[in-house]
Amino acid sequence: MINDDDRDSLIKYRLSQASNTIDLARFLILSDKLTVAVNRIYYGMYYALSALALKHKYETSKHAQLIGWFNKEFVSTKLVDVKFGKILRNAY
């Protein structure tokens, strides 16, 4: 289990990873490297979702479990529009 200080640091790190990865995806799109850009877009979403999960004290190293948690906690409860769950699932 992660203590609160470490959790906050990890959340900030994951959000930074998400931002940097999306920036890289933009560059790759402009460079017409679309296949690699798709991968980076997914990982940008994954890092942001990891930060959200940490904020809610959910931890897993499995992508499918993380997406399942998001769908259960946010999509099924209508906190997030179902289209975002579909986007995430399709990107995975």
**Per-residue pLDDT tens digits for 30-42:** 999 999 999 999 9
| Structural domain of 15 | 4-91
Q: How many domains does the chain have?
A: 1
pTM of the entire structure? 0.91
Q: What is the pLDDT of residue 1?
A: 73
pLDDT tens string 17-67: 999 999 999 999 999 999 999 999 999 999 999 999 999 999 999 999 999
Residues 6+ apart with CB under 8 A from 4: none
pLDDT band at 85 (very low <50, low <70, confident <90, very high): very high
Q: What is the pLDDT of residue 20?
A: 98
Q: What is the pLDDT of residue 63?
A: 96
Whole-angstrom distance, CA of residue 38 vs CA of residue 29: 9
Q: What is the pLDDT of residue 2?
A: 83
Residues 6+ apart with CB under 8 A from 61: none
Whole-angstrom distance, CA of residue 75 vs CA of residue 63: 16
